[in-house]
Structure 1
């Protein structure tokens, strides 16, 4: 080893030659120790290693040994926490989590490791710093180590050694300083060691082994959710802030007038109540003189820029975009699949994602292992039934993951486009093809939030034929469920995208137009439905000809809508002609021929021609029994319509037995909860009321309403109809006040769900007006009794 000559002696003396020695480990050429004036001192660093050093007054030190340093047990603690960033951290809430830390770390003896884990940016470090601020005096020493890697741990230990004995920095090596700190911790009790942003368990376990258990407490923060049991740690998962806490954090960060926070609730929700994102947005708002609402608008247009930008004091490495990129860098080094999964999940709803939906991405066990890696870093969470696990991703992680950024290798435009297409394909592959069948409803209900999220997150300009197919099926399901506004939204987009991609004359486009017209009809938008049906019929006549089955379907649907709108002068001739044409083209046994006869019979009933209506229904029922069998759902539908026609004619002696038998058969064939069975029970209850069996009808309507609320939900048209029928039956018992009290909230609900002009809304409004008039009449009679 090379050595350098050293100058020694008192000031003004000539240079004295001195023998060169091998520099011992831990010694630095030129290092000095504080010395008393004059004289000479020997300080041992190692038993067999010596090196010359000089004091500040040039008095020589001939040897340095650790053995001559004060015993670490005698070294007092430093003044105040060591290594804690002095920068003020904005902090709100977290009462429960602070209580957990207090219970785990305060008091007692022995090496206790408490871990706080969560998504990057969730506020783990801020929570630990707040705990230290509240409880530092309860510990003999608080030490904060940045524990992202082993080098960070060693650097923190060196800081501790220097804080305890400042003079050691002048002559001990980095390694010796770290070991001196470890020795001090091992020799003392009652300290708290904060290990911030732990990445690898081995860094903590190695430190614990070096301490030999120690006599203090450990508080670790980490993005890792797993592995803590290996070191005996108790993990606590940190979640996002409550809405009111998030708004309070935004207010503290902005530090401005209340009007600046206009839209703050919406902004916090958009940012998923994530502390780092809120602080980053607040800094930007304050620096640029914006309001929260203005930031929201900018976020919609420039999301990639804002995810990577705060104010001038924002560390570029601590932005939302950068925080999660570091994790993906680490994961992608071994396997690109976790990043691909995260980009696909970004297009779904944040919660309740069926894990099985991702089966098309990769085979097992690779897919499960990739999900495990994302869960280990809190990039997603897993829950639900082990047989049908569900995934959840923070909404801001999703937002960043689907925002393209050419500078981010995990979010290039090509990768984001690929993920959107893959998410669409996974959903269409999982979607049942018969959305009107109750057997498919459980699957559809699980998928629906994710299809709607995909639609919300994408632009119609990016729609493909796969998107059109998916949204078309979704619109049909929503229509069948009575969610008509959202059904119309999806079917309108399907039609527009089909027309853009395939042209107005494409068979697929004409089907989309037909389905959109049916949805408007169901919503009571009868004039709009008529316009669309007329357009569709004209297109099919021009392209397919008058005898094509699809043309006949358009004529049938237009005639039916004319009847719904009360335009029987146009409905009857069209439906009569359509029945003749279907008999001629399709034959008497075709299912669509039977539909035409059914719809014509309904039109005759609307026109008041009950005899003709009953005759056609009886004929159609006989044909359906012959062609389809007695238990086919369409046969049961014919029996319902015939019984209703008997009821309309006040022939209750035939109507009630028909309804009773129909209920029994529907329950046997379809089950008690099938929508068709509930329709049959509803019609029977209504017939009982007409026959004067009001108590029996009331009990049935209450049961039907409960079932429809459970099966169809509160906003389905059939559920709303059950509420109307129940209120009407209550009125028939003579309790007009209770009936009015039922009609009032019902009117508000049907207006919200179906619109002010829907026929069902008009019916409820008329019933409420009638009940109010009756109440007013009764009140007048009570005040003015007859003489």
Structure 2
């Protein structure tokens, strides 16, 4: 009726199906339809099929299959960085589950709620009820899981790439079991995620997924290349660190470019400079498959809540290059302040740095390991290489901070430092050009570590070439060129080429003398090395005279604690040992040991070096028992910092054997 109140034509409440609404017999007609949600969303619950045979995961798959067969009600969680092969393992388990007659559902990120509700509808749940509950996630999850727990046959439910745990439960941690992720006695729940925090998933069973090794890695590479493993496959797989995504992409690249890469060696040669070149090879092949850089960017995006984490990752990619372990003591907050990691809403402090480092570990970008009884961080070499390739405009700043941290504790961790200096030199050269002074200085730091690590032959070759390049690019009296010349002399000295070494040092000393200020501490260092040449020749009086000259010239401008003066005192004490002046040597060495331990710490190789001469003095002057104890400590210290095969470590063990033999003779003599 025309004058009827409008409320007579109003509908309140939930709408199911369609409603025909007309204003009057002559007016407009409206058809209202309920918008379905939940299980009517466009979701795909089909599991992917592995592209190739799954290799190297037998033990992991056995554990997962055992949990599934044994009715373990806990969710099973596969953790690891992107590209490590978590989804491949899950797909293989899904294939096996289907073969056993289990119902399999595969839930992808972004559609968790709709997918679980769809699974519940497939089990007989009312679709209208699912749609009605979709707006109340807690009630919807409880309704869906009641149906899953009552299923007629066992099932496997996979939550793949659950890298945002809040999607599984926005209000609580997923492991609490009150959201979309729950355990069930009727089926098995499997999660793949970059988030490896046990507290997030407890009481779930966590299974770290590791890189592939040896023959398995080479076989995966060959599978994706569509060829049998042949010469170069094992080497290329090792170059790629057994990282499954890299192996798959390299195999695809080889299959797609048979003319360019007829074999694994040719592809390996192409990737020797940078493994990230794989992305350029596979990008034109079409499809939306993952790339190394893209996979890393996805992991880094998850760090957005911890602003210090990404710049710390950049820094670790340099300090921990080639998979080297970076002790946490190499990342003091006092030195991180003012660098790229010092970002965020507040100042960088111990708690903020700990949160950032923990975020890297939780998201699979860094592993926390124990090395010689202390905690360290390790990046997979391929992750570090990919990070360095993407530094862009931040490369110079990251390299500068890495160098600052390395200079703060030189020669404390030679293996780590050598890899770090190689990475810094590479970044410097790429950003500045190979002949830039900063790039050449970084290359010098890199090649100097060859001497520290006990490879003077390789050091001589590298430093001779570098000195020549520096002199040509910068001039013979540029500080970088002079330092290169000095280090070349050190390599010659270690090789016993004494005349050549002395010639290099004298030329350097004269060149530095022509500089304003007389060359400073570097000139004294050259004079010190000339004295060392005299020691190696056996001319102890001449050597002692030159060491005293170093001490006299450097005492006032540099102070007694200067490294060159400390070494001069130590070597002067060595000449006293050889001349039979035990008390003089003992007094000097005691002071040198005390200063070095104060400056560097008792475990530093420089402090251990000084204690070596203390033990030598004891051995030379008849105290074999004390020498045994001293050389044992020195050998242990050098083995820890330099390695068991380092020349210094071998020398200490030889001296230890001599001391033990002499102590045994002395003991036998006393008994007789």
Please give the range of the TM-score, normalised by the shorter of the 2 chains.
0.5 to 0.7
> Bigger CA drift: 705-714 or 665-674?
665-674
Shift of 1:195: 1.6
Deviation of 1:299 (Å): 1.4
Q: Distance in 1 between matches of 2:81 and 2:146?
A: 34
2:638 corresponds to which residue?
Answer: 712
Instruction: Please say if 1:523 is aligned against 2:492.
Output: no
1:353·1:391 contact (CA, 8 Å) conserved in 2? yes
In structure 2, how many angstroms separate the alpha carbons of the residues matched to 1:639 and 1:723? Answer: 22
Match of 1:277 in 2: 246
Task: Give the TM-score of the pair, scaled to structure 1.
Answer: 0.59
2:424 aligned with 1:454, yes or no? yes
Query: Which residue does 2:47 correspond to in 1?
Result: 84
Secondary structure of 1:398's counterpart equals: helix
Query: Per-residue CA shift, 1:416-435, capped at 9, x if unaligned?
Result: 24443233322332345685
Alignment of 1:96 with 2:59, yes or no, is yes
1:194 aligned residue = 158
Counterpart Cα distance in 1 of 2:648 and 2:299: 50
What's 1:424 paired with? 399
Cα 1:393/1:562, change in 2 over 3 Å: closer
1:378 maps to which residue? Answer: 364
Match 1:112 to one of 74, 78, 90: 74
Q: How does 1:64-463 map to 2 (within 5 A)?
A: 83-86=46-49, 88-108=51-71, 111-136=73-98, 141-150=102-111, 154-155=114-115, 158=118, 175=131, 185-188=148-151, 190-205=154-169, 209=179, 215-226=186-197, 229=200, 232-258=203-229, 261-289=230-258, 290-301=262-273, 303-310=275-282, 315-329=287-301, 331=303, 337-348=308-319, 349=321, 350-355=323-328, 356=331, 358-359=336-337, 360=339, 361-362=341-342, 363-364=347-348, 367-383=353-369, 390-403=376-389, 411=390, 416-432=391-407, 442=412, 447=417, 449-455=419-425, 459=429, 461-462=433-434
CA positional deviation for 1:120:
0.9
State the Cα deviation string for residues 721-742 of structure 1 (Å, max 9, x = none). 4556677899999x9xxxxxxx
8 Å CA contact 1:308, 1:320 repeated in 2: no
Q: C-alpha displacement at 1:146, in angstroms? A: 3.1
Q: Whole-Å Cα distance in 1 between the matches of residues 45 and 244 of structure 2?
A: 25
Residues 383, 549 of structure 1: alpha-carbon distance in 2 compared, 3 angstrom cutoff: closer
CA contact (8 A) 2:505 2:527 kept: no
Maintained 8 Å contact 2:535/2:543: no
Partner of 1:252, secondary structure, is: helix
- Structure 2, unaligned stretches of length 5 or more? 1-13, 21-30, 34-43, 135-139, 171-176, 666-672
Larger Rg: 1
SS in 2 for 1:220: strand
Q: 1:314 to 1:564 in 2, by over 3 A?
A: farther
Shift of 1:218: 0.9
Mark the CA change 1:226 to 1:93 in structure 2 (over 3 Å): closer, same or farther: same
Task: Report the Cα offset of residue 391 of structure 1.
Answer: 2.5
Distance 1:105 1:131 in 2: 10
Higher mean Cα deviation, 222-231 or 185-194? 222-231
Q: How far did residue 670 of structure 1 move?
A: 7.7
Distance 1:560 1:281, change over 3 A: same
Contact 1:263 1:292 survives alignment (8 Å): yes
> Conserved in 2, the CA contact under 8 Å of 1:555 and 1:574?
no
Which residue of 1 is the match for residue 478 of structure 2? 506
- Secondary structure of the 1:197 match is coil
Q: Distance in 1 between matches of 2:161 and 2:526?
A: 68
Query: SS of 2:161's equivalent?
Result: strand
Once the 2 structures are TM-superposed, how far is the Cα of residue 531 of structure 1 from its aligned partner? 4.6
Cα deviation for residue 158 of structure 1 reads 4.1
Is this contact kept in 2: 1:82–1:160, CA < 8 A?
Answer: no
Contact 1:143–1:160 (8 Å) recurs in 2: no
Query: What is aligned with 1:682?
Result: 616
Measure how far apart 1:537 and its partner are: 4.7
Instruction: Give the distance between the partners of 2:32 and 2:453, measured in 1 at CA.
Output: 88
CA offset at residue 194 of structure 1?
1.5
Structure scoring higher RCO (CA < 8 A, sep ≥ 6) equals: 2
Distance 2:472 2:495 in 1: 26
For residues 691-710 of structure 1, the aligned pairs below 5 Å read: 705-710=631-636
Q: 1:371 to 1:663 in 2, by over 3 A?
A: closer
Distance 2:510 2:573 in 1: 34
Deviation string 1:191-235 (CA, Å, 9 cap, x unpaired) is: 221222223334434896579976432111122223764674332
After TM superposition, give the deviation of residue 122 of structure 1 in Å: 0.9
Cα distance, 1:116 vs. partner? 1.0
Do the aligned partners of 2:508 and 2:526 also contact (CA within 8 Å) in 1? no
Structure 1 distance, partners of 2:443, 2:496, is 22
Q: Give distance in 1, aligned partners of 2:199 and 2:587.
A: 65
**Does the 8 A contact of 1:701 with 1:722 survive in 2?**
no
Separation in 1, partners of 2:635, 2:523 = 37
2:579 to 645, 648, 655: 645
Q: How far 1:113 moved relative to its partner? A: 1.5
User: Quick one: structure 1 residues 511 and 156, their matched pair in 2 at CA, closer, same or farther if it must change by over 3 Å?
Assistant: same
Superposed CA RMSD in Å reads: 5.3
What count of residue pairs does the alignment treat as equivalent? 578
* SS in structure 2 at match of 1:85: coil
Q: Map of 1:366-765 to 2, 5 A cutoff?
A: 367-383=353-369, 390-403=376-389, 411=390, 416-432=391-407, 442=412, 447=417, 449-455=419-425, 459=429, 461-462=433-434, 479=451, 482=454, 484=456, 495=467, 499=471, 502-507=474-479, 509-537=481-509, 539-540=511-512, 553=524, 556=527, 560=531, 563=534, 589-590=552-553, 637-646=571-580, 674-686=608-620, 705-713=631-639, 714-722=644-652
Distance 1:28 1:134 in 2: 48
Displacement after TM superposition at 1:91 (Å): 0.6
CA deviation vs aligned residue, 1:468-512 (integer Å, no higher than 9, x gap): 666656766764675545765786687567647753223454244
TM-score (norm 2): 0.68
Quick one: distance in 1 between partners of 2:61 and 2:435? 48
> Structure 1 residues 399 and 315 mapped into 2: Cα distance closer, same or farther (>3 Å)?
farther
State whether residues 556 and 574 of structure 1, in contact with CA within 8 Å, keep that contact through their aligned partners in structure 2: no
Contact 2:614 2:630 in 1 (8 A): no
Pair 370,556 (structure 1): closer, same or farther in 2 beyond 3 Å: closer
